[in-house]
A = this chain, B = another copy of it.
Amino acid sequence: MGRKRTKSGKIRLAEVAELAGVSPITASRFFRNPEALSVAKRTRVESAARELGYVPNLAARALASQRTEVIGVLIPSLTNNVFSDVLRGIYDASEGSRYSIQLSNTRYSILQEEKLLRLFLAQKPAGLIVTGIDQTTESRTMLEAADCPIMQIMEIGPNPIDMMIGFSHYDAARAAIAHLFDQGHRRIGFVGARMDPRVQRRLDGYGAAMKEAGLHDQRLIVTTATPTSVTLGGALFADLLAREPDIDAVFCANDDLALGVLFECRRRDIAVPDQIAIVGFNDLEFMASAVPTLTSVRTNRYEMGSTAAAMLIEAIEGKRPEQPVLDLGFTVIERQSSQTQRQAASPRSPEWAPAVQNDSVTNDP
């Protein structure tokens, strides 16, 4: 009958092995651990595989080996720019590795996260990336019991489940407020939307800084559970102004809100930064380009994603990092929107020039 062919006409490992003149198991090893083969067989299998155009059947491999080569990723939003940068890092780092990414959207719900976690874990992923440190206790239990490496990203905190990579949103917010204090601002408002745990911690950092300076005032804080948007930034700022017309600065929980505030200032002919300073968070690309250029807290999102995926893959392959918690820090990028008159008088870049960024107040741990 000659050599058997798989029903679908696809090449199997057995065919490769036959052509190479080795046993199937040896051919199998070639794909998983080539170093274990003698050079002679290695080249024979390699050329046989190439000649036949062999592609391994992942389902069969997963079934036989009792594990998959899938990294599960749980993020709260698919559309938030912040997460797309992180995601790009994750995908870039996973490319070229044998692992593929399985992505799911928790929509900022830890209950949804728990549900998805259960789904993921049931398929024995090779590793898992989850967002933040605020899982349900049930989720935490499952993650701790999981027999694969776990990476928590976006922020750092106590009691990592396994590995953790991010930065302190609390400290970042404090640094932003410190910068505003430096520039002489005192009545600093806070504008926040969505209020997920990380935004909440930024608010906490803001609150702590204000309290220490004896400047805290609950009425300076405007937040909403509504998803963030530029338009919302303008609306929240309008609320803030209506309540507290004497504010001299606004710290926005993210850059979209900051842009909305800027537009609202423009609508009302409020001079930025002379009448009101604006500071955003994340340092999205447009911040450097706005008029005036907008101060923001830069976070290393792409690096966070790529490092997380790279570390996770290392851990999957047995090389656990000596430092399981990595603080990627942040940088307050000071731009025109928060610089006082005196400093703006000798601008580092002329007003009309394509916005140039000047880094400062770095926190690189």
Chain-B contact segment, one of A12-20, A31-39, A81-89: A81-89
Chain-B contact segment, one of A41-49, A165-173, A187-195, A228-236: A228-236
Chain-B contact segment, one of A243-251, A258-266, A273-281: A258-266
Within 8 A of B (CB), among A29-74: 55, 57-60, 62-63, 66, 68
Contact with A87, one of B63, B68, B78, B88 (Cβ below 8 angstroms): B78
Q: Check if B263 sits within 8 Å of A289, measured CB to CB.
A: yes
User: At the interface, yes or no: A103 with Cβ under 8 Å from chain B?
Assistant: yes
User: At the interface, yes or no: A268 with Cβ under 8 Å from chain B?
Assistant: yes
Contact with A230, one of B66, B78, B234, B286 (Cβ below 8 angstroms): B286
**With A62-B59, A84-B78: A231-B288 Cβ-Cβ less than 8 Å:** yes
User: At the interface, yes or no: A354 with Cβ under 8 Å from chain B?
Assistant: yes
Within 8 A of B (CB), among A130-164: none
Q: Check if A63 sits within 8 Å of B66, measured CB to CB.
A: no
Q: Check if B59 sits within 8 Å of A78, measured CB to CB.
A: no
A90, closest chain B residue (CB): B78
Q: Check if B351 sits within 8 Å of A267, measured CB to CB.
A: yes
Q: Check if B68 sits within 8 Å of A63, measured CB to CB.
A: no
Which residues of chain B come closer than 8 Å to A290, judged between CB atoms?
230, 263
Q: Check if A81 sits within 8 Å of B78, measured CB to CB.
A: no
A198 to chain B, nearest CB (A): 19
Which residues of chain B come closer than 8 Å to A200, judged between CB atoms?
none
Which residues of chain B come closer than 8 Å to A267, judged between CB atoms?
291, 351-352
**With A57-B63, A63-B60: A260-B289 Cβ-Cβ less than 8 Å:** yes
User: At the interface, yes or no: A362 with Cβ under 8 Å from chain B?
Assistant: no
Distance of A267 Cα from B352 Cα, bound (Å): 5
Q: Check if B78 sits within 8 Å of A88, measured CB to CB.
A: yes
**With A59-B62, A88-B105, A267-B352: A289-B230 Cβ-Cβ less than 8 Å:** yes
**With A62-B59, A66-B7: A289-B81 Cβ-Cβ less than 8 Å:** no
Q: Check if A235 sits within 8 Å of B354, measured CB to CB.
A: yes
Q: Check if A234 sits within 8 Å of B289, measured CB to CB.
A: yes
Contact with A266, one of B55, B63, B291 (Cβ below 8 angstroms): B291
Distance of A100 Cα from B105 Cα, bound (Å): 12
A208 to chain B, nearest CB (A): 31
User: At the interface, yes or no: A309 with Cβ under 8 Å from chain B?
Assistant: no
Which residues of chain B come closer than 8 Å to A55, judged between CB atoms?
122
Of the listed residues A78, A87, A100, A101, the one surrounded by the most CB atoms of chain B closer than 10 A to its CB is A78
Distance of A224 Cα from B123 Cα, bound (Å): 45
Contact with A263, one of B91, B233, B291 (Cβ below 8 angstroms): B291
Q: Besides A7-B66, A79-B81, A91-B104, 7 other CB < 8 A contacts?
A: A59-B59, A59-B123, A84-B84, A91-B105, A230-B285, A231-B289, A231-B355
Task: List 21 A–B pairs whose Cβ atoms lie within 8 Å, in order of A's numbering.
Answer: A7-B66, A58-B123, A59-B62, A63-B63, A78-B88, A79-B85, A84-B84, A88-B105, A229-B285, A229-B289, A230-B286, A231-B288, A231-B289, A231-B355, A259-B286, A259-B289, A260-B286, A260-B289, A263-B289, A263-B290, A268-B352
